[in-house]
Amino acid sequence: MSPGPDDRKKLEAYLTAESRLPGPRGNLELAGRFASGFAHSGMSGEWWDMLTDWARLPSAEAGTGDPREFLPFCACLTLGAHYSFASPAQRQEIASILRAAANDSRWRTREAAAMGLQCIGEADFGLLADVLAQWKSGASLLEQRAIVAALAHPPLLKDREAAVYALGLAGEITESIVEVTGPERKAEPFRVLCKGLEYALSVMAAAEPGAGFELLSRLASLDDPAVIRIVKSNLGKSRLSRKYGPQTAAILAGIDNKS
């Protein structure tokens, strides 16, 4: 069944009314249920047009905290959930939409991009890896943040190969921030990326501790204050410090001996 103009208006009204916006936390449960309803083949053109229209709603029409911001949020999750069933052309468009959302000025829309990527990975991690391979070269700092946030997702990390892949890519991104210099280090994209890395590595390392602590030890040897803050923050997370106390303490001791 395809939505007519009146159906679309009613659906938009319902989602915005139930969005819990303005507020600190949108209705993630509703967004997830809505997205799961499109995890199948055979999406009509009307549904596709509605979702892609929502995904592209600009901040001027759906600013941060505005209930209408819930529409692009839902659209990003939904398009991610539908990705494995989409045509090649639609997949290309979904990836482009999520990439644009990752660079959005609205933090909630950026989060939706990461969650949309997670939806792709939950259906087929290989498809997610293909998308990220296209993003990786020349990725902006905010796109790198979306990559890291998407991969720091426990359901994806249950597979050992996926966890090793996540650590490898997150490690490359962390090491690359040493090349960010000057005013760019004080701008929001750099701050947002670092904040994401300050928790993400510990999630990945908890899933694959051997490779995880090897990465954290290597990063701890870098002479960069932002990288050292990232390492210390991850080692301070209880998911690592409680279960892997000796490994955590050894890396921290090495950092202290350098300073």
pLDDT in tens, 188-211: 999 999 999 999 999 999 999 999
Whether the pLDDT of residue 3 is over 90: the answer is no
Report how far residue 191's alpha carbon sits from residue 171's, in angstroms, rounded to the nearest whole number. Answer: 17
Report how far residue 198's alpha carbon sits from residue 229's, in angstroms, rounded to the nearest whole number. Answer: 8
Please compute the mean of the pLDDT values over residues 122-128 and round it to a whole number.
Answer: 98
Please compute the mean of the pLDDT values over residues 146-158 and round it to a whole number.
Answer: 98
| pLDDT-based confidence at residue 259 (cuts at 50, 70, 90) | low
Per-residue pLDDT, 4: 78
Per-residue pLDDT, 255: 95
Per-residue pLDDT, 119: 98
The model's pLDDT over 158-177, given as tens digits with 9 standing for 90+, comes to 999 999 999 999 999 999 99
Please compute the mean of the pLDDT values over residues 44-54 and round it to a whole number.
Answer: 97
The model's pLDDT over 57-86, given as tens digits with 9 standing for 90+, comes to 999 999 999 999 999 999 999 999 999 999
Domains, the chain, ordered by start? 1-137 (1.25.40), 153-259 (no CATH)
- The share of the chain scoring above pLDDT 90, in percent, equals 95
Report how far residue 204's alpha carbon sits from residue 23's, in angstroms, rounded to the nearest whole number. Answer: 30
Determine how many CB atoms are found less than 10 A away from the CB of residue 218: 14
The model's pLDDT over 97-110, given as tens digits with 9 standing for 90+, comes to 999 999 999 999 99
Report how far residue 72's alpha carbon sits from residue 94's, in angstroms, rounded to the nearest whole number. Answer: 13
Please state the separation of Cα 86 from the chain's center in Å.
Answer: 21
- What Å distances lie between residue 133 and 98, 114, 128, 137, 165, CA to CA? 14, 15, 9, 7, 11
Q: What is the DSSP annotation of the chain?
A: ----HHHHHHHHHHHHHTS--SSSS--HHHHHHHHHTT-SS---HHHHHHHHHHHT--TTTS-TT-GGGHHHHHHHHHHHHHGGGS-HHHHHHHHHHHHHHHT-SSHHHHHHHHHHHHHHHHH-HHHHHHHHHHHHTT--HHHHHHHHHHH--HHHHTSHHHHHHHHHHHHHHHHHGGG--GGGGGSHHHHHHHHHHHHHHHHHHHHSHHHHHHHHHHHHTS--HHHHHHHHHHHTSHHHHTT-HHHHHHHHHHHHHH-
Model pTM score: 0.96
